[in-house]
Amino acid sequence: MRRVEIYDTTLRDGAQAEDISLSLDDKVSIVSKLDQLGVHFIEAGWPGANPKDDKLFARLRQMHPKNATILAFCSTCRPGQTPENDRLIKAVLNARPQGVTIFGKTWDIHVSGQGGLGCTLEENVRMIRDTVAFLKTHYPMVIFDAEHFFDGFRANSEYALAAVKAASLGGADRVVLCDTNGGSLPDYIAATVGRVKATITSPIGIHCHNDSELAVANSLSAVQAGAVQVHGTINGVGERCGNANLCSIIPTLSLKLGCETIPRENLGMLSEISRFFDDIANLSHDKHQPYVGEAAFAHKGGVHVSAVMGDPSTYEHIDPSLVGNQRKVLVSEHSGKSNIIYKAREFNIDLSRDDATAAEIVKSIKDLEDCGFQFEGADASLELLMKKAMGEHMRFFKLKGFRVNTERRSDDTDPVSEATIMIEVDGNVEHTAALGNGPVNALDRALRKALSKFYPSIEEVQLLDYKVRVISSRKGTESVVRVLIESGDRKDHWSTVGVSSNILEASWMALVDSMDYKLYKDSMKARARHKNR
């Protein structure tokens, strides 16, 4: 089995992305996670470039990673300088990493052109060779990043090859070809890697950017052409359009090209580490990301779900559990009975395929979605709908009426909202009121206050998220709105939905489903305890 080294540059190249700012503790946590994943190399940063990276290397010297080699990043020495006297090289030595990756210019325009190094082409070759050779006297692993190599090779192949030859002659353990502008195509990448492989003795790596949406494809093409090391970042973060996405590259190499990358048993960590990085970087997780996104194995069409229930491979390219993900069946206007039956199984509801109730539920969902409902993100409302259609859901309370008032008493005070509510439980009527931070919060508090007299466990419920979406804005303030509410208690969390042209009515519907679902789950647990006695 062919071995391909995984080189992570999330902390350096990835951190250059817009909207990403990682603290020192964030970086240490990411290094720990990457080491657990089993990547071979972690490029931690550029010593001397900023105080945070200097502190990071000091922290990392105390960590002793089990799987990864910690590398520092740096440029070659400057024109007219020797490596041993260069300030930046000295900073790398002081950081005491386990190895070093240096980058050098391989595109002639970056050497002698306007805005370039301002030295001769020969001087740049000397800088590459001498810097690699000097660092090899200090570190067992020295990697050379051939910056802008593919553009440089296209413009002046003779000079680009001379630059990487210098690194190889200097003793570089890997020569990494960089598609820094991200504009190359897979065929060109493969052909160029093959040309370089026939020219130098050092093993070749690949470092691609995603400006043409081809970083993953280009990286795979390079491996197929002979590259032994792949650079990338978690979730493909990076400057401009990002870097090659390791969350896609690793499973593709391992599961489809039969390469040895990270330990096979660690592939299941990929979904976890993808979400972990987004959480720590305060980014929204891309649910449509291949392999690790929440929607990567989601099925909505009834034909698809029916096929997946018989043979998952009909609409899934891998078993989602291999990368720590899971299958997800959505219920919507596109659903058929297969979707309903699959979801019923998730809810532990016995609903046979031939049961006319399944067809009735499908019709109800299609009718409700035509009115603006959406059950993809509201499993609790869907489960209640199923139980009601089966005649197996009891009503825990009945609304007798509610009223919400909002008033502002002066220009320098905030508005005050008050909700009054009347409910009936087993013939007993409770009439109560509550103040809130806005009309929806007041209504939520009043409903909880009334219900807790009969059902004390309602006090455990917390409203975790509240979202409003205008379904169609053509009617302006008369438009229909959809309200999604996420609630939770000490053990579970659930989502409910409400739709109306009146935002309070839509909120009320979602709130009622939320409380109803809590009471329904409590009753199911009570029945299970009674049955087991």
CATH number at residue 151: 3.20.20.70
More confident residue, 2 or 408: 2
User: Binning pLDDT at 50, 70 and 90, where does residue 395 land?
Assistant: confident
Q: Is residue 385 part of a domain?
A: no
Indicate if 271 and 302 belong to the same structural domain: no
**Predicted local confidence at residue 131, as pLDDT:** 98
Indicate if 111 and 232 belong to the same structural domain: yes
**Predicted local confidence at residue 240, as pLDDT:** 96
Most confident of 20-24, 218-222, 372-376, 421-425: 218-222
**Predicted local confidence at residue 472, as pLDDT:** 66
**Predicted local confidence at residue 362, as pLDDT:** 77
User: Binning pLDDT at 50, 70 and 90, where does residue 115 land?
Assistant: confident
**Predicted local confidence at residue 478, as pLDDT:** 65
Pair 462, 447: CB distance under 8 Å: no
Domain boundary among 280, 313, 341: 280
Indicate if 331 and 444 belong to the same structural domain: no
User: Binning pLDDT at 50, 70 and 90, where does residue 313 land?
Assistant: confident
Q: Is residue 484 part of a domain?
A: yes
User: Binning pLDDT at 50, 70 and 90, where does residue 214 land?
Assistant: very high
Domain boundary among 216, 250, 280: 280
Indicate if 262 and 334 belong to the same structural domain: no
Q: Is residue 288 part of a domain?
A: no
Separation CA 231–CA 233 (nearest Å): 7
Return the closest-CA partner of residue 439 out of 420, 422, 418: 418
Q: Is residue 162 part of a domain?
A: yes
Separation CA 218–CA 179 (nearest Å): 9
* Three-class SS of 27-52: HHHHHHHHHHHCCCEEEEECCCCCHH
Does position 308 have pLDDT exceeding 90, yes or no? Answer: no
The number of folded domains in the chain is: 3
Q: Is residue 212 part of a domain?
A: yes
Does position 196 have pLDDT exceeding 70, yes or no? Answer: yes
**Predicted local confidence at residue 383, as pLDDT:** 83
Give the pTM. Answer: 0.75
Indicate if 307 and 406 belong to the same structural domain: no
Number of H helices, E strands in the chain: 17, 16
Query: What's the mean pLDDT when you consider all of the chain?
Result: 90
Q: Is residue 22 part of a domain?
A: yes
Q: Is residue 138 part of a domain?
A: yes
Indicate if 132 and 257 belong to the same structural domain: yes
Q: Is residue 63 part of a domain?
A: yes
Return the closest-CA partner of residue 91 out of 102, 80, 104: 102
Does position 335 have pLDDT exceeding 90, yes or no? Answer: no
Q: What is the mean pLDDT of residues 124-140?
A: 97
Indicate if 359 and 494 belong to the same structural domain: no
Range of the domain at 313: 298-370
Indicate if 268 and 327 belong to the same structural domain: no
User: Binning pLDDT at 50, 70 and 90, where does residue 334 land?
Assistant: low
Indicate if 182 and 246 belong to the same structural domain: yes
H-state helical runs in 179-311: 186-197, 215-224, 246-251, 270-280, 302-310
Long-range contacts at 397-405 (CB < 8 A, ≥ 24 apart): 397/423, 397/424, 397/425, 397/451, 397/454, 397/515, 398/423, 398/424, 398/425, 399/423, 399/512, 400/424, 400/429, 402/443, 402/446, 402/508, 404/439, 404/442, 404/443, 404/504
Indicate if 129 and 226 belong to the same structural domain: yes
Indicate if 264 and 173 belong to the same structural domain: yes
**What's the distance, CA 461 to chain centroid?**
28
Percent of the chain with pLDDT over 90: 63
Q: What is the mean pLDDT of residues 442-446?
A: 91
The pLDDT tens digits of the residues spanning 463-513 come to 888 888 887 656 565 678 889 999 988 888 898 999 998 888 999 999 999
Percent of the chain with pLDDT over 70: 95
More confident residue, 408 or 265: 265
**Predicted local confidence at residue 73, as pLDDT:** 97
Does position 84 have pLDDT exceeding 90, yes or no? Answer: yes
CATH of the domain at 433: 3.30.160.270
More confident residue, 362 or 216: 216
Does position 179 have pLDDT exceeding 90, yes or no? Answer: yes
Indicate if 366 and 415 belong to the same structural domain: no
